[in-house]
Amino acid sequence: MIGPLKTIAITLGDVAGIGPEVVRKAIGSGKINRRFRYEVLLENRAPRVALGRPSRQAGRFALDSLEAGVAGCLRGDYAAVVTAPVSKAGLRLAGFTFPGQTEWLAHRTGARDFAMMLVGGSFRVALVTTHTPLRRVSSLITREAVGRVIGLTHAWLLCLGIRRPRVMVAALNPHGGVPEEQGREEISIIAPAVRTARKRLGDNVTGPHSPDHLFWLVRQGKADAVVCMYHDQGLIPLKMLAFDRGVNVTLGLPIIRTSPDHGTAYDIAGRNRADPRSMIEAVNLAARLAGTHPRGGFHSPT
């Protein structure tokens, strides 16, 4: 006898943007996984706000919805939570003090090791640093940080059912730091982190690879995921190849959380022009993860 369907929670994000529209279109598309139920959180409490700009009311509603989804996942009421786009400006007006939702999610769930991954079909990139000015990136790249993201990425690929994950690690500097005067991060930080990871996870972890060649290899199917040193290093190639179906996944949480990889699109809010494909992909990826990893989150092996 088949038991009751599990439920995936969906937030509306910033209701002054396209979140409500892409959620509605995704649910009505007939293209989302039918082996789950879907609950749109706090829909009957959504505030009436002016479209197309951030506000304290919309920010507060987005935070309340996010809290409802995470709390429900932690209680076991939901198999996953899918979060529609939010405005950082709106969140700040509501008193939000974290750099982004990823950091808040880690704090709220007690996760110490976490990372942001972006998925576009079979193209997957995980980030060692996220929304960081380029001038600060080098100082934030450590052996521990690189090794942590490699481990989280490897564990996540195992959760997808990939038995021998191939993880390529990007260099930071042009030509992978060769010649030496181009940068020493590869020699002193990234290469040692990769060597340590290979001892723990196997020879399918490789790098540091020069990024100007690495992503061509990925497109040829030579890797299951790439660990990138900074935001645009990974996001530019991913969005070139999968702009309309990118998904943001938070690695290292005790729950499953995905989100479409686009913003609030205030300029088209309320015009029925929003493309729901990224939201559909986010819902289906959450369902896939919930189906293959029913206990919830996924962590780096110790």
Residue 188: DSSP 8-state? I
pTM of the predicted protein model? 0.91
Strands (E), the chain: 6-10, 36-40, 80-82, 115-120, 123-127, 167-170, 205-209, 225-228, 247-251, 257-260
Residues in contact with 181: Cβ distance below 8 Å, sequence separation at least 6, in sequence order: none
pLDDT number for residue 175: 81
Q: Give the tokens for residue 136.
A: 């600060």
Q: Please tell me the distance from the alpha carbon of residue 257 to that of residue 285, in angstroms, as a whole number.
A: 9
CA–CA separation, 11 vs 17, rounded Å?
13
Which three-class secondary structure state does DSSP give residue 39?
strand
If you compute the radius of gyration of the chain from its CA atoms, what whole number of angstroms results? 19
pLDDT of the chain, 302 residues: tens digit per residue: 355 679 999 999 999 999 999 999 999 999 999 999 999 999 999 999 999 999 999 999 999 999 999 999 999 999 999 999 999 999 999 999 998 888 999 999 999 999 999 999 889 999 999 988 999 999 999 999 999 999 999 999 998 889 999 999 999 998 876 766 667 899 999 999 999 999 999 999 999 999 889 999 999 999 999 999 999 999 999 989 888 899 999 999 999 999 999 999 999 999 999 999 999 999 999 999 998 764 445 554 43
Are the CB atoms for 249 and 127 separated by under 8 Å? Answer: no
Q: How far apart, in whole angstroms, are the C-alpha atoms of residue 17 and residue 20?
A: 8
Cβ count within 10 A of residue 75: 8
CA atoms within 13 A on the CB side of 19: 29
Q: What angle do CA 280, 274, 73 make, to 5 degrees?
A: 40
Instruction: Map residue 33 onto helix, strand or coil.
Output: coil
